[in-house]
Amino acid sequence: MSGQTPEIWFPHLGIQIEKLSRVAVEIASFKLYWYGVFIVLGVLLGMLAALQEAKRVGHDPGLYTDFLLYALIAALAGARLYYVIFSWDNYKNNLLQIFAIREGGLAIYGGVIGSFICAYVYTKKKKLNFWAFGDVAILGLILGQAVGRWGNFFNREVFGHYTDSLLAMRYLKDQVSNIPPSVLEHVITVNGAQYIQVQPAFLYESLWNLLVFTAMQIYKKHKKMDGEVVFLYLFGYGLGRFFIEGIRTDQLMLFSTGIPVSQLLSALLVLVSAVIFAARRRAKNKIPRAR
C-alpha cells in the first residue's frame, strides 16, 4: 500500500478511498452532511418513480406530491419514535434528548410504519382506494430506501460483524463509534493504521432493495388486483431485512428479551404478507357454485 492509509478500504476488490468526509458542504458554522444529501436524493428519486407510475396507471400525480409532505413528517416521527422506544434506557433520564434528532437515532422500520399509517389516513380523507394508491407510492418508498442507505456509508455505520469475504470492508478504527467487542477482536493494523474489517450491511440492503424494486417494476404489469405490489414489497423487503439484520452489530433489541426487534418484525412481515396475498388471490379466483 506504499505507506498510504485510506479511510475506507475494500481489500479484496482493490478499492481504496483515501478520504471520505461526512460533510458535503460547510459554510461558516453550517454543515450539510452527506447523510442528509442521500436522504433527500432518495426522496426525490422515489417521488419521480411514483409520479411516473401514477401517469402510467392514470392517477392524478398531484395526489402523490401532496401526500409526500405528510409522509415525510410521518416517516420522521415514526423513525424517531421506533428508535426511542427500543432504546429507552438512553432517554428515560433525559427526555429532552428525544428531540435531539441531529445527534442521530432514526430507525427505517419506524419510518415505514409511519408512512403506511399516513397513507391510510390520507386515502381515507381523499376517498381513494388505499391499495391502488399504495401500489404506486410503494415504488417510490423502496427506491428511496435503496438510495438513502448510502448515507450510512458516509457515516461509517450499519455494518456487520468481522468477515474476510469478497465484499469485506475496512474502516479506520478511530473514525467509527460503538464498535462491538466481536469486531475489535479482529482489528487489522496496516502501516501503523488500525482498521476494523466488517460486512457492509448497508451495501447488502441497498442492493437488495434495488432488486426488490426491479421485481416490483416487472410484476406491476401482471398484477391481478390492487395491493399486490404492496404485498410484494412487504414480502421482499422483509425477507432481505431478516437476513441482513442478523449480521448487523447495531441491532435494536425487543426490550430485555435479547431478540432483535427489526428481525422479528421482518419475519412477521414475510409471513403475514404471504398469507394475506394467498388468501386474497384465492378469494378472487374462487368460482361460484352453480345453483
DSSP assignment of 197-263 equals EE--HHHHHHHHHHHHHHHHHHHTTT-SSTTHHHHHHHHHHHHHHHHHHTTBSSPPBSTTS--BHHH
What pLDDT, on a 0 to 100 scale, did the predictor assign at position 288? Answer: 59
Residue with cell 432518495: 42
* pTM, to two decimals: 0.92
What pLDDT, on a 0 to 100 scale, did the predictor assign at position 183? Answer: 97
Across residues 224-253, what is the average pLDDT? 96
Residues in Cβ contact with 67 at an 8 Å cutoff, skipping those fewer than 6 apart: 118, 119, 122, 137
Kindly state the DSSP code that residue 287 receives in the 8-state scheme.
Answer: P
Question: CA 141, 147, 148: angle at the middle one, nearest 5?
Answer: 80
**Mean model confidence pLDDT for the chain:** 93
At 143-199, the pLDDT tens digits run: 999 999 999 999 999 999 999 999 999 999 999 998 999 999 999 999 999 999 999
Residue extents of the structural domains in the chain = 8-217
**Is residue 132 within 8 Å of residue 123, measured between CB atoms?**
no
Residue type, 264: L
Across residues 34-55, what is the average pLDDT? 96
Residues in Cβ contact with 283 at an 8 Å cutoff, skipping those fewer than 6 apart: none
| H helix count then E strand count, the chain | 9, 7
At 57-74, the pLDDT tens digits run: 999 999 999 999 999 999
What pLDDT, on a 0 to 100 scale, did the predictor assign at position 101? Answer: 78
